[in-house]
Copies of this chain bind each other. A is one copy, B any other.
Amino acid sequence: MRLPEAWIISVGNELLNGRIVNTNLAWLSRKLILDGYLVRCALTVRDDCEDIVMAFRLAVDKGASLIVSTGGLGPTFDDMTSECLSKALGRRHVLNEEALRMVEEKYARRNLPMTEHRVKMAMMPENARPIYNAVGTAPGVMVEEGPTLILALPGVPSEMMDIFERVEGLIRSRAPPMSYVSVDLVVRGVPESEAAPLIEEAMRRFSVYVKSHPSGQELGLPILRVNVTSSSPSEEEARLNVEGALRLLSERFRERGGNVEEAQAHSPGSG
């Protein structure tokens, strides 16, 4: 099967001066693969309009089905992704009323006035759709250009993840149907900080996405709910991925004195 191609564009000087390792790229790549895409290329550019335009143009011209960018959506002078995206698409850069309401609501709640810099976060390419940012302020920007869906996200990882997951259903619906397998483990007696490297190991070794949720305490022991998902055009493969990760995680948690049980049966299904 030929998968739709995704490109990832990371914007920010800090990514090209060696101070920051681009973890957004790894997170998005994994998500997009599980959503049914081939991640074909990633571009990292500076806060420089010429280069941001170049990156979007290249991805559109190479026939990307999906472009996801991170960074450059904030209020300061060097946040220019949205404006440069308008340039790359040859569209007018306009005030988006829905985005303006989202931004105004954020500041009203803190009794802060709107300023030119804050309004800037509601400026988008013509016909774009703002995506609500529950964690920060700047909305995401979603726009279609022919067969290409473009999604511009903030660079702060928690905001980037929140907005991405809001539109993940749409992103997934544009890829071929994938079989999903999702299993929850309930782990008693291992704190989340100790679980983090084990989860990273499982994600490195298996094509799965693992998320942990602290779920209170019981008799003084921390309870962690660990969700392991995989998807693949082949249901068999998705199931094997999840099973491999579950075996590894259970072993590791038990080595650390944890009590592990499965919370529910496998739930395969087409997405």
Residues of A within 8 A of B (CB): 15-23, 25-31, 33, 39-46, 48, 51, 54, 58, 62, 203-204, 207
Contacts and interface: CB of A to CB of B under 8 A. Distances in A.
A87 to B, nearest CB: 17
Contact of A42 (B30, B44, B48, B204): B44
A45 B7 CA distance: 10
A225 to B, nearest CB: 22
Contacts of A62: 54
B16 A39 contact: yes
For this chain, the copies found in one complex come to 2
B31 A26 contact: no
Contact of A17 (B15, B39, B44, B48): B39
A17 B25 CA distance: 9
B26 A21 contact: yes
B18 A29 contact: yes
B43 A16 contact: no
Contacts of A48: 40
A19 B26 CA distance: 7
Given A41-B43, A41-B44, A45-B41, A20 B16 contact: no
A102 to B, nearest CB: 29
A30 B18 contact: yes
A16 B25 CA distance: 8
With a 10 A CB-CB cut-off, give which of A20, A31, A39 has the most chain B CB atoms. Answer: A39
Contact of A29 (B16, B23, B28): B16
Contacts of A40: 16, 45-46, 48, 51
A40 B51 CA distance: 8
Contact of A20 (B15, B17, B26, B58): B26
Nearest to A29: B18
11 contacts: A17-B207, A19-B30, A22-B22, A22-B25, A40-B45, A41-B45, A41-B46, A41-B51, A42-B44, A54-B62, A58-B58
Contacts of A26: 18-22
A28 B15 CA distance: 11
A209 B226 CA distance: 38
A32 to B, nearest CB: 8
A207 B13 CA distance: 13
B21 A33 contact: no
A236 to B, nearest CB: 19
A62 B51 CA distance: 10
A232 to B, nearest CB: 12
